[in-house]
Structure 1
Amino acid sequence: MSTPTAKLIKSGDIWQIEGYYAYRNRVRRRESTNMISRPRENFRVLNVFHPPNIPGKSMVVGVIDMDPNGATPSHTHGGAAVVAMVASGTVLNQMNCEEPIVSKAGDIWYEAPGCHHVRSENAGGGSETARFFAVLIVDDEVIRDGVHNIFVLDIEKAEKESAHLTLLNRVPPLFGSVFILTVFEHKTHTYTSYNNMNVLELDLAGSFHQSKPARRVGLACAPCRKKHLRCDARTPVCARCIADNKQCVYEKSRRGGRRRKPSESASGLGSGGNSTASSALLTPGLPADQLWVPSSSPESVMVPAVQAQARSTTSGLTTHPTPSATAENDALRTDRLYNLYYTFFHPAHPCVLPWRFLSQRLETERETIQPLLYVMQYIGAHYADDVDASPLATISESQLAPIRSKQAAATGFDVQAMILYSIAVYWCDEIDRGVNLLKEAIQMALDIQMNKKDYATNFGQNDPMLEESWRRTWWLVYITDAHVAGSTHVYPFRTSNIDMSVDLPCEEEDYEAGVICPPTTLEVYDIREFLPEADRPSFSSYAELIGLTRSIDKALASDWSKNAALVHTICENADISVAAWHSLLPPCKRDPLRSDGTVDEIMFKAKFILHAYAIEIHRPLSTLAYSSVESTCKCAPPVPAEDAPGSDTTQIQLHTLKCLHAIEQLGRLMILPANIHAHTPFIICMIANATIAHLAACRYVFAGPDLQLGRERIRLSMGTLKRLSEHWGQGKRIYREMGIVAREILSLADQGKDSHDQVRFSTKGTLSGMPNTPAALEFPSFDMHNINVAEFDFCGYFDGAIGEVVEPASFLVV
């Protein structure tokens, strides 16, 4: 029986599906691409039983045949518990993030309710059909409309949920992704197995409609225009570029544009690149004089409302925004800041609930969550060049004041607000204040016993998502403490000796999807090397980052910078700990670049930390000499003591090679096809320290082609620093300081005379680690203020002797 004609979209058309579901759909579509073109399974129901001893449940017995090379895309079973046995052939299965398992005739496997069946395929080598029987225990409600509901493909489920929730205005417009769907008419509402998997029906019982005609966009960004794709013209980043991790650039139009009526140009409002804010977006606003009004053209920047009104008044056309327009502008601005927060900051610091889960709590816990919301807006403002973050900083301070003074009892949301605010303040070049805020965040977390395992369950309100958020919050506090210790070179960590029993976080994709499995404990992680392969759980990227941080924490428990005799011992211990951690990584975690071309941001950070610490602990024992000019850069490590015990030549060469290897590995991480602005700002210090060591290698170790390649890699590092520093004040200062250090170490003081004051120097001493020589090379001091920092650009004059200057951005894949 056919259903009424559904409102559908033709193949090649673009339909904007906003919110979290669109993001998850894109990820899962990419993961299932390899399966779609393969022959599908043939599922046949043998019988359905209704056991009287388990009311409300049904038992479905079926047989599944897979042709040679057949496969089933990633799917779930509607909450059913499944027991399956292979009758003939060979079947490969992968559940959740576990390793794939090959089952032969007679083998049995079990899938718990909610299990994610990632891979299911015929593994018989392309010559034999595989058959297996399955018994499923499922709720009667699930199969009321048919047993097809126990077999749900990720792609179908995600796209249907995306469309349905967007049409009902239940999801705020955040990540806005685009999907291409194929039209068909008068099909039943059930899902059928299609071999090509390119057809999806959107039958929403007549609820599919558009409230107004789609707006035609006359502007497209450069990446969309190059591929002749439709662009939604959102600023600062369109939906396609967010989905594809591309650099979104709008080129200035060479055409004059249509003439506007005076009433239009005076309104100060337009469709712009932003869609109307969802009425479900409940967000605290700023005073009217601090609102940002979207301009009528995506090319124009957003300006304070008072300035927009002043301009219209000057032209003789005064406007008075209505209360509804003011509220809409407020929602547009805050929506944009949340979008920027989740796009650029959240991936590397994922403790806050994903937006669709956080927004659900605004109606009942708005007052509790409000400080966190303002901090998120404040951080998001740093990624918007046209937004002044100062007012939001003031409001965030006032929101946090009662909590900091203990006038109000702290909650987990308050700890989240404090730790995130401390990171932002630290990287706004208020280092001392940021460190003090970090100390307060640590103490606040300890006061409410967030470091204990029971906190998540006691204060999780029986919500697995909230419990997971609390676990992630404590571990973010711990890892941030480690980051700050590494950036300031103060060991041990402030949290090193604190007892912590918090369970480990889940995978990022599961957290974003709201699929939370029972967590893995620290005790299990600490004995993972002894567990049989079949019993070893899969640990998330976040859990592996925690494991690496704990290993480094134990190795650096003593302040080796104050005890030269410990340098060799600590260096050896750190090598052992890090090597052990890396050797136990599963194959899917050893490379932060996933098989689908995306970058695992958490594993990226873990690998960056690994190599950055390798440079810091090995350099004092290598031939990479220190110089006093390095102190110009505040995040540079201190010069080691001159009474450090010496090493033989072989050991010195070994430490030098380990340093150079770590520098090379960091360079490889920097050219991964990732959104560079989504990396944690803490890698700025890591890159700076690695670059200083690399500069020493260029001066004292490399020669010939190695020297030329080394300087190209330094350009890459400096270009990456320049890009990362665009949003953070401390990053801008470090970039300028690094230019000074590089000029002095590489004797470039005589270059670029037309732009900068020069300081010439001569070295005193030789290489560190060699007998009877000082550890540092001495340089004359100079006043950093003599350099015109406003116009400073290291890459503009670096190493003119090699040849044409290469723009560092050309080395970056973003």
Structure 2
Amino acid sequence: MDSYLQSVSDPSSHSSSPELYAPAVPHAAPTISPPGSADARGPTQTVPAACLACVLTDLVHYRADASPSSLKRAKHLKCDGSNPCSRCLSSTSECVYVASRRGYKGPRKGSAANPNKRHASDSPPSASGESCPMLLGAQVRTPAPSTMTTFNRTMSVPDASVPPFVTAPVNNSLQIFRTPYVNDANGAVVAVNGQMPRRSIPEQCIDAFYFYFYPGHPAVLPKAHIMNLAKERNIEHLLAAMRWVGSLYIQIGPARATFFEEMMRLLYAPDTPQDGFLVQAMVIAIIGLDGCRQNDKAREILANAEQIATALGLYTRAYATTHGCGNPRLEESWRRTWWDLFVVDGMIAGVHRQTNFLLYDILADAGLPCEEHEYLSGKIPRPMYLEDFDDQLFSGEDREFSSFAYRVASIRNLGRMMRLPGSGFSPEESVDKVESLLSNWRLHLPKSKRDCLNKDGQLDEMMFQAYMINHACTIILHQPLSQLDSSPARDVTACAPHRDVQSGDSFNLHTRHIIKAACEISKMVTYNVPITSHTHFFTCVLTLSSIVHLSKWAAVWFIADEEDLRQQIRLNIGALNKLSSVWKAAETAGGQVKGVAQEIYRSRKAQQTNPQFWEHCTSEQIMSSLSADENIMSEINLLPSAPESVMPPP
């Protein structure tokens, strides 16, 4: 590890290039192509060993009849035994052979070496005799109980149909495919013989993690540095969490279940050190599990992460210096780890309303994170602290705080709101105090932070989340005291239980607050970035916004801004639809919002058949209302239930 720390401590070795966290191929999101079709150059000969690409393809073809006899036949279909085989040549797949050890009694005397067979020393043997985790019969050892809660292996993450022959890997390497290429000192891929190599599935998952997930939760080291660190010490549990979350964004089939099993096994392995890297892995797992609607397991790991982080003193000013080994980037990573855990704890408490934001009550003095471009370049300034942020208006010092710091400040306001008597259901004077905090946060933003774009015109994901949290706090704070009847949206419970709000004779100030916040959330959908690159918690904030929109549509028959309302409902459902390609929570929420919209439409249609309903209306109002309702539902019904895959960004 000393060699790595020495190399990254030198500022001259740092690079501000976005390739540190983006996929290796510029302007393209990581994707995986399906296995190629069968070779058409002639009849397939029976060979003693089939390559791994052919094995996986044929196993998929035989998933409807996954009997032992069919799997046995599948291992020897359509592979001619060449290296590379003709089938891999036609599909541009990497050709790797898996040696079978069945009945092996040592080398035959006088036999010539077969170049198509892999020697036993090429990969470590497994307890079951099969080293490939995709083959039937692969076994995994059950980890011994640790100081944390034991992982329940019967729990599984919702996913596309996983064939019954998929099991967890037997080793920690997850080297599903060999990779005939090398990396340079910065972790970039180097061409071999003038050709760029094909990325393996684990590597593409890491690329997807950095492209999609990392901008929303940038706590771990940038890609090049985490890979260098992995050569010096065992952080396989962290890499396993990154691989699994990255796999949610791309099409990899049954390998996703393998990555999930490996992550959970390593998080709870007795020999996994309980250090800052484990906290980072657990935070990644928490977000992924919460997005996959495994809320109970996410809360269980969150409790463990909070216990480990506080026991380590991750929240203290000294932790980053003591455990940063003189490396400014690693010190910054530790500060980010604490504050990202802090934000995740607050978001889960706020959107699900089932936890109490435990970390809010800890007197943390860890330094506030710097700007993203400073972290990536390694030019990290002296950290500032919460007291600096709180005193900035009165100290007279002109200080520039990072977007991450404003994100932390925004989630702190959520914590203050949750500490009100009755968890938000408090008298109006208490609500006014929290509203002052929310308004002051917005009013005192510097000019550079008054939108979600950075100086280069690119989306600032940290400010995006800061605004998102602020708008969500406004809805959570004011909704109980508003006069907008919430009963029409009672079935939208994907993120949190229904909150019963009674209607009033007219809209009061609290109602105007939540309507404005809901509109601002809908506008956030329009940023020209892949919607799946936002944090998963945007799903629940969109759901909050949708509840307000639907309640307004149900309560008001003649809406002056009905065209805007229609577009906002359509934006929210479309965004949830896109997010559902990655997150099960978004699929559930989107389905509920769409179902409530259809129910409200049917109710409005039934009311409109009563002549007394139109008694005081002009013909223009009648035609306008009927046309608007028809347009809303026709546009919503045209939206698909869920996209088939995540499309790469333009």
Pair 1:442-2:276 in alignment: no
Q: Which residue of structure 2 aligns with residue 176 of structure 1?
A: 24
Q: Which residue of structure 2 aligns with residue 612 of structure 1?
A: 472
Contact 2:22 2:211 in 1 (8 A): no
- For residues 747 and 664 of structure 1, what CA distance do their matches in structure 2 show? 24
Pair 1:380-2:246 in alignment: yes
Query: CA offsets, 1:84-114, max 9 Å, x none?
Result: xxxxxxxxxxxxxxxxxxxxxxxxxxxxxx8
Q: Which residue of structure 2 aligns with residue 805 of structure 1?
A: 635
Q: 1:654 to 1:172 in 2, by over 3 A?
A: closer
Matches within 5 A, 1:394-413: 394-402=261-269, 409-413=273-277
- For residues 525 and 293 of structure 2, what CA distance do their matches in structure 1 show? 23
- For residues 585 and 716 of structure 1, what CA distance do their matches in structure 2 show? 27
Deviation of residue 596 (structure 1)?
Answer: 3.5
Matches within 5 A, 1:27-106: none
Give the counterpart of 1:393 among 260, 264, 268: 260
Q: Which residue of structure 1 aligns with residue 211 of structure 2?
A: 343
Deviation of residue 653 (structure 1)?
Answer: 2.4
Q: Which residue of structure 2 aligns with residue 552 of structure 1?
A: 414
Matches within 5 A, 1:532-543: 532=396, 535-543=397-405
Q: Which residue of structure 2 aligns with residue 327 of structure 1?
A: 178
Q: Which residue of structure 1 aligns with residue 222 of structure 2?
A: 354
Give, as a single letter, the amino acid of the residue that structure 2 aligns with 1:327: R
Contact 2:208 2:249 in 1 (8 A): yes
Matches within 5 A, 1:471-620: 471-490=335-354, 492-532=356-396, 535-558=397-420, 560-561=422-423, 564=425, 566-620=426-480
- For residues 496 and 476 of structure 1, what CA distance do their matches in structure 2 show? 13
Q: Which residue of structure 1 aligns with residue 548 of structure 2?
A: 693
Give, as a single letter, the amino acid of the residue that structure 1 aligns with 2:230: L
Q: 1:476 to 1:802 in 2, by over 3 A?
A: closer
Give the counterpart of 2:486 among 617, 626, 630: 626
Contact 2:487 2:501 in 1 (8 A): no
- For residues 629 and 252 of structure 2, what CA distance do their matches in structure 1 show? 34
Query: CA offsets, 1:485-544, max 9 Å, x none?
Result: 112124641212112111100101111112211111221111011233xx3221111011
The 3-state SS of whatever aligns with 1:476 is helix
Runs of 5+ consecutive residues of structure 1 not aligned to the other structure: 1-78, 80-113, 115-141, 143-153, 163-170, 178-238, 251-255, 270-287, 294-306, 752-759, 761-797
- For residues 428 and 545 of structure 1, what CA distance do their matches in structure 2 show? 24
- For residues 309 and 619 of structure 1, what CA distance do their matches in structure 2 show? 61
Q: Which residue of structure 1 aligns with residue 76 of structure 2?
A: 313
Q: 1:741 to 1:516 in 2, by over 3 A?
A: same
Q: 1:587 to 1:291 in 2, by over 3 A?
A: farther
- For residues 261 and 516 of structure 1, what CA distance do their matches in structure 2 show? 61
Give the counterpart of 2:294 among 430, 437, 440: 430
Deviation of residue 680 (structure 1)?
Answer: 0.5
- For residues 709 and 362 of structure 1, what CA distance do their matches in structure 2 show? 51
Pair 1:666-2:429 in alignment: no
Query: CA offsets, 1:544-598, max 9 Å, x none?
Result: 100111122123213535x74x142342122111111122211111100235331
- For residues 220 and 307 of structure 2, what CA distance do their matches in structure 1 show? 19
Q: Which residue of structure 2 aligns with residue 417 of structure 1?
A: 281
- For residues 491 and 449 of structure 2, what CA distance do their matches in structure 1 show? 36
Contact 2:283 2:341 in 1 (8 A): yes
Q: 1:248 to 1:391 in 2, by over 3 A?
A: closer
Give the counterpart of 1:735 among 574, 580, 590: 590
- For residues 291 and 327 of structure 1, what CA distance do their matches in structure 2 show? 15
Contact 2:24 2:207 in 1 (8 A): no
Q: Which residue of structure 1 aligns with residue 232 of structure 2?
A: 364
Query: CA offsets, 1:18-53, max 9 Å, x none?
Result: xxxxxxxxxxxxxxxxxxxxxxxxxxxxxxxxxxxx
Contact 1:507 1:541 in 2 (8 A): yes
Contact 2:494 2:588 in 1 (8 A): no
- For residues 200 and 349 of structure 2, what CA distance do their matches in structure 1 show? 38
Runs of 5+ consecutive residues of structure 2 not aligned to the other structure: 1-9, 58-69, 86-95, 98-116, 123-175, 181-197, 608-627, 641-646
Deviation of residue 687 (structure 1)?
Answer: 0.5
Deviation of residue 241 (structure 1)?
Answer: 4.0
Deviation of residue 665 (structure 1)?
Answer: 1.0
The 3-state SS of whatever aligns with 2:445 is coil
Give, as a single letter, the amino acid of the residue that structure 2 aligns with 1:337: C
- For residues 463 and 243 of structure 2, what CA distance do their matches in structure 1 show? 26
The 3-state SS of whatever aligns with 1:727 is coil
- For residues 327 and 647 of structure 1, what CA distance do their matches in structure 2 show? 66
- For residues 319 and 634 of structure 2, what CA distance do their matches in structure 1 show? 59
Contact 1:427 1:729 in 2 (8 A): yes
- For residues 541 and 73 of structure 2, what CA distance do their matches in structure 1 show? 45
Deviation of residue 290 (structure 1)?
Answer: 13
Q: 1:698 to 1:616 in 2, by over 3 A?
A: same
The 3-state SS of whatever aligns with 1:313 is coil
Give the counterpart of 1:240 among 27, 30, 35: 27
Deviation of residue 347 (structure 1)?
Answer: 0.4
Give, as a single letter, the amino acid of the residue that structure 1 aligns with 2:179: E
Query: CA offsets, 1:113-139, max 9 Å, x none?
Result: x8xxxxxxxxxxxxxxxxxxxxxxxxx
- For residues 621 and 459 of structure 1, what CA distance do their matches in structure 2 show? 48
- For residues 748 and 426 of structure 1, what CA distance do their matches in structure 2 show? 34
Q: 1:491 to 1:624 in 2, by over 3 A?
A: farther
Q: Which residue of structure 2 aligns with residue 29 of structure 1?
A: none
> How many matched pairs?
497
Pair 1:707-2:565 in alignment: no
Deviation of residue 462 (structure 1)?
Answer: 0.9
Q: 1:309 to 1:436 in 2, by over 3 A?
A: same
Give, as a single letter, the amino acid of the residue that structure 1 aligns with 2:439: A
- For residues 717 and 579 of structure 1, what CA distance do their matches in structure 2 show? 25
Q: Which residue of structure 1 aligns with residue 142 of structure 2?
A: none
Query: CA offsets, 1:591-638, max 9 Å, x none?
Result: 002353311011111111111221222222223212175145232454
- For residues 802 and 414 of structure 1, what CA distance do their matches in structure 2 show? 48
Give, as a single letter, the amino acid of the residue that structure 2 aligns with 1:805: E
With normalisation by structure 1, the TM-score equals 0.55
- For residues 709 and 696 of structure 1, what CA distance do their matches in structure 2 show? 15
The 3-state SS of whatever aligns with 1:495 is helix
Deviation of residue 249 (structure 1)?
Answer: 13
- For residues 262 and 174 of structure 1, what CA distance do their matches in structure 2 show? 43
Contact 1:491 1:557 in 2 (8 A): no
More helix by share: 2
Q: 1:308 to 1:614 in 2, by over 3 A?
A: farther
Decide which moves more: 615-624 or 517-526. 615-624
Deviation of residue 390 (structure 1)?
Answer: 1.4
Q: 1:486 to 1:696 in 2, by over 3 A?
A: same
Matches within 5 A, 1:183-202: none
Query: CA offsets, 1:320-348, max 9 Å, x none?
Result: 72658942289611110100000000100
Contact 1:611 1:666 in 2 (8 A): yes
Deviation of residue 417 (structure 1)?
Answer: 0.7
Deviation of residue 712 (structure 1)?
Answer: 2.2
- For residues 571 and 290 of structure 1, what CA distance do their matches in structure 2 show? 63
Q: 1:441 to 1:648 in 2, by over 3 A?
A: same
- For residues 454 and 262 of structure 1, what CA distance do their matches in structure 2 show? 68
Contact 1:593 1:672 in 2 (8 A): no
Give, as a single letter, the amino acid of the residue that structure 2 aligns with 1:372: L
- For residues 585 and 592 of structure 2, what CA distance do their matches in structure 1 show? 10
